[in-house]
């Protein structure tokens, strides 16, 4: 079986207990206006092109066996109707102007990467975290990986936004040891505006996990001016407490790596978005504590 993988990070902190291997899958049903990893949006591999790094050597013409690259106005241009994202042009690019985001990987290849770190898991109390994008978009691939990890006694976590059919969530919950569950906004209208999708399924699935007694760690991505007002923070903390979860992670917004959106040919997030200040995060965590929820600040790897 094969799946679409953006990357595999070894020795990652803050994505579950201990040090972990983070298997980052491609594809996401949401389009968060602040997303710092736009290369995870689409399921299939993508070519990224940083024009400022291109030296116009045109070696990519020869590297592309399909003839998908040609010159236009002195620039190499890819015909997306011909390109099959094989990555040959990226592999041969001496300046890294071209890079492939993601690849098709077999289950056995992913597991080989995971098993490299078994000693690290034992020493640190860690394991494997499947994230994205949204890992629940590739349920069969994810389930196969979870099954093998369970057979090997490896702790597993699934980092999810919860936007998936309930049946998929139930199948994954039968095998995963922990869910890291993103809650972006409780108001459905605001959630649609911020992510392009309703939050009803997301909230229903969180309640579903709570009813079955699954291990869940709610994560709140804090985006200044979008979801950090005192009323919303208190509502979110009260919901978390009502479901029996007494702890959550606060994840401050971070800006995407400069040039990432341009390299994918997409518009940048709103320029007005700012990373939250430490004082604001501390105040937010204090508000949650008043609602009986202990918040811990974590930063994404």
CA separation for the pair 16, 21 (Å, rounded): 10
In sequence order, which ranges of 68-211 are alpha helices (DSSP H)? 88-91, 107-115, 118-124, 139-151, 166-173, 188-195, 200-211
Angle at 229 between CA 132 and CA 236, to 5 degrees: 60
pTM for the whole structure: 0.90
pLDDT (tens digit per residue) in 134-172: 999 999 999 999 999 999 999 999 999 999 999 999 999
Tokens encoding 265: 């040919």
Tokens encoding 58: 């045109």
What residues in the chain have per-residue pLDDT under 50?
Answer: none
Relative to beta strand 216-222, strand 247-252 is parallel
pLDDT (tens digit per residue) in 256-300: 888 888 888 888 777 667 889 999 999 999 999 999 999 999 987
Identify the pLDDT of residue 256.
86
Q: Quick check: 127 and 17 in contact, CB under 8 A?
A: yes
Identify the pLDDT of residue 185.
97
What residue ranges define each of the domains in the chain, with the CATH number in brackets? 2-43+103-297 (3.20.20.70), 59-100 (3.30.70.20)
CA separation for the pair 86, 83 (Å, rounded): 8
Cβ contacts of residue 242 below 8 Å, gap of 6+? none
Q: Quick check: 107 and 145 in contact, CB under 8 A?
A: yes
């Amino acid at each position: 079986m094969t799946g679409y993988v953006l990357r595999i990070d070894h020795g990652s902190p803050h994505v579950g207990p201990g040090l972990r291997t983070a298997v980052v899958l491609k594809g996401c049903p949401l389009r968060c206006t602040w997303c710092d990893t736009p290369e995870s949006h689409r399921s299939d591999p993508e070519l990224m092109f940083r024009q400022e790094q291109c030296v116009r050597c045109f070696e990519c013409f020869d590297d592309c066996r399909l003839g998908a690259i040609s010159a236009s106005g002195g620039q190499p241009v890819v015909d997306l109707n011909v390109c099959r994202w094989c990555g040959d042009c990226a592999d041969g690019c001496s300046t890294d102007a071209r890079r492939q985001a993601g690849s098709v990987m077999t289950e056995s290849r992913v597991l080989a990467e995971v098993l490299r770190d078994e000693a690290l898991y034992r020493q640190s109390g860690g394991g494997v975290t499947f994230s994205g994008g949204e890992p629940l978009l590739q349920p069969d691939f994810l389930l196969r990986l979870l099954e093998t990890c369970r057979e090997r006694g490896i702790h597993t976590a699934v980092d999810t936004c919860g936007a998936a059919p309930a049946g998929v969530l139930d199948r994954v919950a039968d095998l995963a040891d922990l869910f890291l569950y993103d809650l972006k906004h409780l108001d459905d209208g605001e959630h649609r505006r911020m992510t392009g999708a309703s939050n009803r399924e997301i909230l229903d699935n969180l309640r579903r996990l709570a009813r079955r007694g699954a291990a869940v760690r709610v994560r709140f991505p804090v985006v200044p001016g979008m979801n950090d007002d005192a009323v919303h923070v208190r509502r979110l903390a009260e919901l978390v407490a009502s479901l029996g979860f007494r702890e959550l992670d606060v994840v401050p917004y971070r800006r995407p790596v400069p040039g990432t959106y341009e390299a994918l040919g997409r518009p940048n997030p709103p320029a007005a978005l700012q990373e939250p200040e430490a004082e604001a995060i501390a105040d937010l965590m204090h508000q949650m504590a008043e609602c009986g929820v202990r918040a811990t600040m974590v930063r994404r790897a």
